[in-house]
Amino acid sequence: MMGIKNNFKPLDSKVFVTQPLLPSLDSVEAQLTEIWESKWITNMGKKHNELAEKLKDVLKVKNVSLFNNGTIALLTALKALDLPYGSEVITTPFTFAATPHCISWNGLKPVFCDIEPKTMTIDADKIEALITPNTSAIVAVHVYGFPCDVYKIEKIAKKYNLKVIYDGAHVFSTEIDGKGIGEFGDITMFSFHATKLFNTIEGGCLTYNDDKLFKKIYNLRNFGIQSEELVEDIGINGKMNEVQAAVGLLNLNLYKEEQRKRALVKDYYDKNISGIKGIYVPQMPDNTTNSYQYYPIVINDDYPLSRNELYDKFKTYNVMTRKYFYPLCSDYECYKDLESSAKENLPVANEMKNKVLCLPYYGSLNQDVLSLVCGVLNEPV
Ligand code: T4K
> Residue 2 above 50 pLDDT?
no
Residues ≥6 apart with Cβ < 8 Å to 331: 93, 341, 353
Q: Which residues of 33-72 are buried (b: 16+ CB within 10 A; e: fewer)?
A: eebeeeeeebebbebbeebbeebeebbbbebbbbbbbbbb
d(CA 153, CA 126): 11
Same domain, residue pair 260 and 212: no
146 phi and psi, to 5 degrees? -80, 130
Q: Of 327, 264, 291, which Cα lies nearest the Cα of 95?
A: 327
Q: pLDDT category, 193, cuts 50, 70, 90? A: very high
> What average pLDDT does this structure show over 8-16?
95
Domain annotation covers residue 2: no
Residues 224 and 353 placed together within one structural domain of the fold: no
130 C-alpha to ligand 1 centroid (Å): 30
Q: For residue 49, give the CATH number of its domain.
A: 3.40.640.10
Is the distance from CB of 79 to CB of 56 less than 8 angstroms? no
**What confidence tens digit (pLDDT) does each residue in 360-372 have?**
999 999 999 999 9
Q: How far is the CA of 196 from the centre of ligand 1 (A)?
A: 7
Whether 80 and 214 share a structural domain: yes
Q: What is the DSSP string of 289-358?
A: ------EEEEE-TTSSS-HHHHHHHHHHTTB--B-TT-S-GGGSTTTTTSGGG-GGG-HHHHHHTTTEEE
Say if residue 302 is in the same domain as residue 211: no
112 and 132, same domain (yes or no): yes
Which residue owns the Cα nearest ligand 1 atom 33? 195
Phi, psi angle pair for 14, to nearest 5°: -65, 140
d(CA 46, CA 51): 9
Last residue of a domain, one of 251, 286, 308: 251
**Sheet harboring 204-208: ordered strands across?**
63-67, 204-208, 187-191, 163-167, 135-141, 88-91, 109-112
* Predicted TM-score (pTM) above 0.95: yes
- How far from each other are the two terminal CA atoms of the chain, in whole angstroms? 16
Over 70: is that where the pLDDT of 99 sits? yes
Residue 180, domain member (yes or no):
yes
In a domain, 105, yes or no: yes
Q: Which ligand 1 atom minimizes the distance to the CA of 192? A: 15
Q: Does one domain contain both 269 and 325?
A: yes
Spatial separation of the C-alpha atoms in residues 356 and 276, rounded to whole Å: 15
Percentage of the chain modeled with pLDDT above 90: 98
Which pLDDT score is estimated for 6? Answer: 58
| Consecutive H or E run containing 90 | strand 88-91
Let me know if residue 93 belongs to a domain.
Answer: yes
- How many domains are contained in the chain? 2
Expressed in angstroms and rounded, the spacing between residue 194 Cα and the centre of ligand 1 is 7
Domain-located, residue 80: yes
Distance 96 CA to ligand 1 centre (A): 9
Which residues approach ligand 1 with their CB closer than 6 A?
16-20, 69-71, 95-96, 98-99, 141, 167, 169-170, 191, 193-195, 204, 320, 324
In a domain, residue 15? The reply is: no
- In whole angstroms, give the CA distance from residue 349 to residue 352: 5
Quote the pLDDT of residue 294. 98
> How far, in Å, CA of 166 to CA of 349, rounded?
19
Mutate which of 96, 189, 202, 318 for ligand 1 pocket (most atoms within 8 A of beta carbon): 96
Interval between CA 313 and ligand 1 midpoint (Å):
23
Do 265 and 206 share a structural domain?
no
Alpha-carbon distance values, 312 to 10, 32, 160, 309, 348 (Å): 13, 42, 46, 5, 24
Residue-number span of the structural domain to which 162 is assigned: 25-251
Domain of 349: which CATH number?
Answer: 3.90.1150.10
- Is the pLDDT score of 1 beyond 90? no
Residue 129 Cα to ligand 1 midpoint, Å, equals 33
* Mean confidence (pLDDT) of the chain: 97
Identify whether residues 244 and 261 lie together within a single domain: no
C-alpha to C-alpha distances, 204 to 48, 64, 95, 142, 170, nearest whole angstrom: 12, 10, 17, 15, 11
160 φ, ψ to 5°? Answer: -105, 5
Closest atom, ligand 1, to C-alpha of 73: 13
Among 194, 229, 251, the domain boundary falls at 251
pLDDT tens-digit profile of 304-338? 999 999 999 999 999 999 999 999 999 999 999 99
Q: What pLDDT digit, counting tens, does each position of 108-139 carry?
A: 999 999 999 999 999 999 999 999 999 999 99
Q: Do residues 276 and 368 both lie within one domain? A: yes
> Do the domain assignments include residue 10?
no
Helix (H, G, I), strand (E, B) or coil at 48: helix
Do residue 95 and residue 176 come from a single domain? yes
Residue 5, pLDDT > 80, answer no
**Which protein residue has the closest C-alpha to ligand 1 atom 16?**
195
Helix (H) or strand (E) holding 251: helix 242-252
Same domain, 130 and 85: yes
**Domain for residue 44, yes or no?**
yes
Whether residues 238 and 278 fall in one domain: no
Q: What confidence score (pLDDT) does residue 7 get? A: 76
Q: Cα(9)–Cα(218) distance, rounded to whole angstroms?
A: 53
Average pLDDT value for residue range 28-37: 98
Given 204, 232, 251, the domain boundary residue is 251
Asked whether the predicted pLDDT for residue 213 surpasses 60, the reply is yes
Q: Is the pLDDT of residue 4 over 60?
A: no
